[in-house]
Amino acid sequence: MKALLLIDIQNDFIPGGTLAVPGGDAIVPLVNALQSRFELVVATQDWHPAGHGSFASSHPGQQPFQQIDLHGLPQTLWPDHCVQATPGAEFHPALDQHRIEAIFRKGTDPTIDSYSGFFDNGHRKATGLTEYLRGRGVTDVYLAGLAADYCVYFSAKDALEQGFQVFFIEDATRAIAAEGYAQAREELLAHGAQFVQAADVR
């Protein structure tokens, strides 16, 4: 069975949000149209407590996008975003949520960031997404969402490592940086991911 995994289509990642992905809102109509082609649709949601360790504001003197060591892991510092129970953490209002069967929240531990929908960045804790998909008999995972060079990329990478066939729906994602996305794409291809367009998904 195939599943559509919608990654972090949330207000703070949409133009106007605190960590906006350029053109992020353009994927929403595509994502809505894609959902009817899948038996199973699952979403992830960035869900940070206030004062999360990945926020630049939690480190006096540091600025967003600087690099630090956070409890033994390299960490990019971000503007505050997707803080629990704030409007920025909500799904984009135009996103059709009627077919989303489960939502997996990530980034809830203030001491470690979590880009992937499957694990935190240190692979110290799992979200339960792997077991959920396996329990539903999923073999093929199709990914769409934000951002292509971070949370979608890391989710795709972990899906491959968990033994799923991975299909990256390229026009249903947007990246923060073109160079970072090019590197991510090359790595995923080398590990067996397939890149497809929304029109090719049946």
The residue from 25, 113, 120, 151 that is catalytic is 151
The residue from 12, 106, 120, 157 that is catalytic is 106
8 part of the active site: yes
Tokens of 94: 């135009």
Residue 132, judged by CB atoms within 10 A of its CB (0-12, 13-18, 19+), counts as middle
80 part of the active site: no
For residue 72, the SS3 value is coil
Residue 185 CA to residue 15 CA, distance in Å, equals: 23
Question: Under 8 Å CB-to-CB from 150, ≥6 apart: which residues?
Answer: 115, 176, 180
151 part of the active site: yes
List residues with catalytic annotation. 8, 106, 151
